[in-house]
């Protein structure tokens, strides 16, 4: 399935009244992407997604990780009404299947998640089997990423906006800057927090970072902050994962079930010019 087919079928099957550009903007915004601003509601860029243009790498990188499956499902569910028969027909769901509004919305959100997380423009169509699985195993709907990532502080949430920029291939003895662009997308104000290089002292991680503890400015919900460190690849070849965590003023891990979120992967290789 390609994104043009998905978007066309999705819009046709819902009660959404806006134009194609507005639909894409609202869909992106619903799951945390600011690639298209709310006022961008009549742009050819969004319309081109209906005409065969694939999701670009920049578009995919604009979605927070973990992907907000349930938030997108909530957006879709608002426009699933008596038209569900049309949705079944558009996406080849058996007409004999029981209708469950939430499962339909969650299934369609899962399909969009596949587009965002794939490096291909043509992805498997998971809609019919996923919907049937939800009907047969309702508990499966609770296993989405954004349900299992429970924060330390109730209502807390972080989105990493530049998630794609976390993999580097560099020569030996090279220094380079890495930046995390964070959004406080929860309901808790961040105060006295730090991002800490967890495995800084491990022998198997040869790269270094200065600073290895980064003070995060106090930030209110809905706001963004940029923080950075300088990596030094040093004179060791290999592939290294630098693990980071956000801690509160007491040193507690704020997002204990998202241990991979802030990681940066660095491949150090010998180059003749080094």
Per residue in 89-120, pLDDT tens? 899 898 889 999 999 999 999 999 999 988 88
E strand residue ranges, the chain: 158-160, 167-171, 175-184, 193-197, 208-210, 213-216, 224-232, 238-242, 244-247, 264-269
pLDDT in tens, 164-211: 567 889 999 999 999 999 999 999 999 999 999 999 988 888 999 999
Could you tell me the residue ranges of all domains in the chain?
A: 3-148, 158-269
Which band of pLDDT confidence, cut at 50, 70 and 90, is reported for residue 217? very high
- CATH architecture label of 158-269: Sandwich (2.60)
Distance, CA of 71 to CA of 26 (rounded, Å): 12
- Give the per-residue pLDDT at 261: 80
Q: How far is CA 254 from CA 8, 43, 214, in A?
A: 40, 39, 15
Distance, CA of 53 to CA of 259 (rounded, Å): 34
Is residue 87's pLDDT more than 60?
A: yes
Please give the order of strands across the beta sheet that includes 175-184. Answer: 158-160, 175-184, 224-232, 208-210
- Give the per-residue pLDDT at 149: 59
pLDDT in tens, 123-152: 889 999 889 888 887 766 655 444 445 788
pLDDT in tens, 30-58: 988 889 988 889 989 999 999 999 999 88
DSSP letters, 193-209, are: EEEEETTTT-TT---EE
Distance, CA of 151 to CA of 158 (rounded, Å): 9
Greater model confidence, 141 or 21: 21
- Give the per-residue pLDDT at 167: 80
- Give the per-residue pLDDT at 141: 64
Omega cis (within 30) before 178: no
């Amino acid at each position: 399935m390609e994104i043009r087919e998905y978007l066309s079928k999705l819009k046709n099957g819902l009660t959404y009244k806006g134009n194609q550009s507005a639909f894409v903007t609202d869909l992106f915004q619903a799951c945390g992407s600011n690639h298209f601003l709310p006022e961008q509601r009549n742009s050819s860029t969004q319309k081109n997604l209906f005409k065969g243009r694939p999701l670009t790498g920049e578009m995919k990188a604009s979605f927070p990780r973990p992907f907000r499956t349930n938030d997108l499902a909530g957006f879709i569910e608002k426009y699933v009404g008596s038209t569900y028969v049309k949705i079944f027909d558009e996406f080849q769901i058996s007409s004999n299947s029981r209708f469950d509004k939430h499962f339909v919305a969650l299934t369609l959100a899962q399909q969009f998640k596949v587009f965002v997380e794939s490096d291909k423009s043509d992805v498997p169509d998971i809609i019919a089997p996923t919907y049937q699985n939800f009907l047969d195993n309702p508990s499966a709907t609770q296993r989405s990423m954004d349900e299992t990532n429970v924060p330390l502080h109730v209502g807390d949430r972080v989105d990493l906006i530049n998630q794609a920029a976390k993999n580097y291939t560099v020569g030996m003895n090279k220094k380079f800057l890495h930046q995390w662009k964070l959004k406080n997308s929860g309901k808790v104000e961040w105060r006295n927090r730090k991002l800490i290089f967890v495995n800084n002292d491990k022998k198997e991680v040869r790269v270094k970072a200065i600073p290895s503890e980064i003070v995060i400015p106090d930030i209110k919900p809905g706001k963004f902050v940029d923080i950075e460190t300088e990596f030094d690849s040093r004179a060791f070849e290999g592939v290294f994962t630098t693990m980071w965590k956000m801690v509160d003023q007491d040193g507690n891990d704020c997002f204990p079930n998202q241990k991979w979120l802030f990681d940066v992967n660095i491949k150090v290789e010998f180059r003749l010019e080094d």
